[in-house]
Amino acid sequence: MESNFFIFFLAILAGFALIILSGFAAGTPLASLFTVLSPILAIIGLLVVLLFALALIWKAINLLFNR
């Protein structure tokens, strides 16, 4: 059960990384590619963060009340 929490936490961090990566469009040699992908990466990152944060909250509530 604890490994699920760790995997969910890592997924949330990956979502934040996608959100941050979407902000690095201007200073890279592949700026045009990042400009196109920036909104997509931000949306995917937000969905990942929300999904796995809700999963963590759900698991925590189940652990709290199933004792």
**Domain membership flag for residue 15:** yes
**Domain membership flag for residue 26:** yes
Number of domains into which the chain is organized = 1
The pLDDT of residue 19 is 81
Least confident interval from 5-9, 28-32, 50-54: 28-32
**Domain membership flag for residue 9:** yes
Cα separation, 42 vs 49, in Å, equals: 11
27-36: pLDDT as tens digits: 667 667 777 7
Residue 58's domain spans which residues? 2-62
The pLDDT of residue 25 is 63
- pLDDT tops 80 at residue 56: yes
Cα separation, 24 vs 20, in Å, equals: 7
**Domain membership flag for residue 67:** no
18 burial class (0-12, 13-18, 19+ CB within 10 angstroms)? buried
Global pTM?
A: 0.74
